[in-house]
Amino acid sequence: MKVQLKDIVSKSILTPASGAIDDFTHSLNPFTGCSFGCNYCYVREMPVSMYREQEWGTWIDIKTNASELLKKEMIKAKKKGPVRIFMSSATDPYQPIEGKTQLTRKLLKVMLEEQPDFLHVQTRSPLVKRDIDLFKQFGDKIRISITIETDKEEVRKAFSPKAPPISARMSVLKEITAAGIKTQATIAPLLPCSKEFPQKLKHIATRITIDDFWMGDGSGGKRTAKLGIYDTYKQMGLEKWYNPRAYKVVQKMFQQELLDTDVTLQVSKKGFSPDVM
């Protein structure tokens, strides 16, 4: 299905951060909507999606004036105190349309002029490596976090069929880490994985964060339950993984594998905090 694109003029671009990311001061979303349209995405149960006629994943609003707004809003925000930005909380800043619009890249350039105290970039797209040259200029004020919710491609295809392959994400994460940039492998939401998952991640990121539906969807798992995700687990014979205690098993696997490394392991909200390196 072709994604419907719409250019819009936004009234603001920095949104006060709340909930799971309230350790940040603002969230920054270059787009509204996301063409990856992951089946489990909690944004499906938020007003931005629920009050839209089109199905989540089939439309994108492009905030054409985002960079101009950001310049003004950054200056104003910095006068009030430290500025810590989470990009992005309700879309992917590197979804395919970014390759054409370069909107996210423009925002990064603005933030290099008016630097925030910390910038967390959250994506699942290999396109993120395009901006390594800019990331380097932020020094230790930036973290690039790539979502790798499983190491099983068949699981990825069942839950997020339009998202990039896992191997491509791992490759890019390794490349960004090798460039000397702080990185994070974000296992969020945790999906069924293999025992080899920790081995695959331990040398490609400077830290790893585990999150799941119950901790991470902002409603104790209620939003996710409404999406019917359990049915996908059942169809794959993986019902035991749909459990608020499953993450503890995976956490233990990672703890054992990371003993001989400098990689930091975090869980849920603490793993996204700008104050935890």
- pLDDT digit string, tens, across residues 247-275: 999 999 999 999 989 999 999 999 999 87
- pLDDT digit string, tens, across residues 74-120: 999 999 999 999 999 999 999 999 999 999 999 999 999 999 999 99
Per-residue pLDDT at 277: 56
What domains does the chain contain, in order, with CATH numbers?
4-266 (3.80.30.30)
- pLDDT digit string, tens, across residues 173-221: 999 999 999 999 999 999 999 999 999 999 999 999 999 999 988 888 8
Bond into 164 cis (ω within 30): no
**Dist. CA 175–CA 178, nearest whole Å:** 5
- pLDDT digit string, tens, across residues 137-160: 999 999 999 999 999 999 999 999
**Dist. CA 16–CA 93, nearest whole Å:** 18
Which whole number is the average pLDDT over 20-31?
96
How crowded is residue 262: how many other Cβ atoms within 10 Å of its Cβ?
A: 8
Per-residue pLDDT at 276: 59
pTM score of the predicted model = 0.96
| Residues 41, 46, 51, 52, CA torsion sign | negative
